[in-house]
Structure 1
Amino acid sequence: MFFELLLQRLIDAMNAQVDVARHLMERILHELVRNSSDKKQTLATLVPLISSTEPPALQVVLCLVKLCLESCERGAPQETEFLLKQEVADGVLGALTRCLSHASSKVRKHAVDCLVVYHFATKEDNTIMNKYLSAALDDTRQRLVGIFIDRANMERHHIGLSS
């Protein structure tokens, strides 16, 4: 409850702040999300904000979703099983796919980045994500997301080989 309230208040306050204050608030939000012990609750708090927030705060919310999903990706498979549950996938993927139609190219880019990280956070179990994307997106947008996933996969593979 406290976490949810704090997150909401900081995001709401960002719109009225100048650049320095906004940057400090973003750093606080990043630390809150990064150090959150309950990733499922964190996503449950962030996802509704995607629909109710406008740029530039929307880009921050999408960055926080991406950060949370990256934390999930680093976790053990049993810690990320919740991402494969239909109700969680519907909420997260639904909010992200709606952002792919946003007027702002930055919002669309952040949404694609989140979808790519969601793919890896589910340990590349594509069953739910592919089913959802094929139902929610046209062929062009679906291919676009696939291209970004393939590119990220190649980059990860390349980094793994060069280490």
Structure 2
Amino acid sequence: MTSAVSQTTLDYLARRLDELAAEFPTSPEAVGLVTLADDIGTLTQHLQHATERAQERFTAPATVHAPERLVLVRLAKAAAGIARALDTLAEALAYATTGFQREAVPDLAHSHLRNDPQVLRMLTAEKYVTARAQLRNTAADLRTAPPPAAPPTSRSTRPAARSTAVPQRTRS
């Protein structure tokens, strides 16, 4: 039997994303290719786990009720946020590696800055900051509970509808 996806699941993922974002470097000096590759791998694992949880639940769609469906929608949106952060980190990796220096700064093709590792570290650090913000926003969205649904009103307690028709004016 598969376990339900609940707000607790989303809170756990939000904590993991916040922890990872907190470890991201914010200065060019702290940027490292090995760490960047590890961060990409960790984020990929979170994305894969979220996707697997959703797939697992929809193997038996009859057992997924409305409240859990709402949680699964939020999980899918979080997966999209994680994918955006992954894309940003992949760009950072491309910028940081020497094989893609032209991609990082195409206008500097003939400049001495083209091969400057400090410039590439700065670009990578900027991408890290962007990815951090994306992950923090995704984590915040996971924690934000959707507005509670209005309690259903049974037909017996509803006031009877009155006909208060207002005469319509017609144009001549």
TM range (shorter): 0.3 to 0.5
TM-score (normalizing by structure 1): 0.33
Larger Rg: 2
More helix by share: 1
Higher relative contact order (CA 8 A, sep 6+): 2
Q: TM-score, normalised by structure 2?
A: 0.31
